Amino acid sequence: MAVSTLGSGNLREALKLPPGEDKNEWLAVNIIDLVNQVRMVFGVLCESECTDIKCPSMTAHGRKYTWTSDETVLNTSAPQYIDLSLTSCQLNIDDENVFPSEIGKQFPANFEERCQTIMRRLFRIYAHVYFAHVSHFKEIKALPHLNTSFKQFVLFANQFHLLNKEETEPLREIIENLVSFS
């Protein structure tokens, strides 16, 4: 099955760690970009398509995601879950102790783990979008944009082992189609 994307050149090569670049700085720059892309993707939906009424729970391909905070599990609507996820990602990015903005400043020892958490949250947003709202992207002729954004996300996650296979299972077929010819 062919998956329509924008003419994006060789994303796999573009996402490789450049020689001499600090891996953590590369992770940080790209994750900030990916968070911003997901924010834009969700922005296409948030006004009328993904509402508390239309999406009373955060689901994707048979999975229901719940928000866990301080040992409390919250059943939230999809927009609430997405807002909590994006807020959490932004709080990490804005924290100088996690994502230092000064070049050469030390990243925390658990930086890759923090990156994995951010990527897992972003993946769940993509999963919900593909599960519940892909028809809207088709309708407004923005599916190639969604696919290109997700392809970049997947290639980056795969390159740096930021998501486990079990987590990505809900979108396995889409992932295989997007990256099979990259």
Binding-site residue numbers are: 50, 55, 128, 133
**Are 163 and 123 in contact, with CB atoms under 8 Å apart?**
yes
Nearest to 147 by CA among 132, 164, 126: 126
Cα–Cα distance list, 130 to 14, 66, 67, 116, 143 (Å):
25, 18, 20, 21, 10
- For residue 49, give both structure tokens: 């398509």
At residue 2's C-alpha, the angle toward residues 60 and 156, to 5°, is 60
Binding-site residue numbers for Zn(2+) are: 50, 55, 128, 133
d(CA 74, CA 26): 33
Q: Token match 């809207």: residue?
A: 136
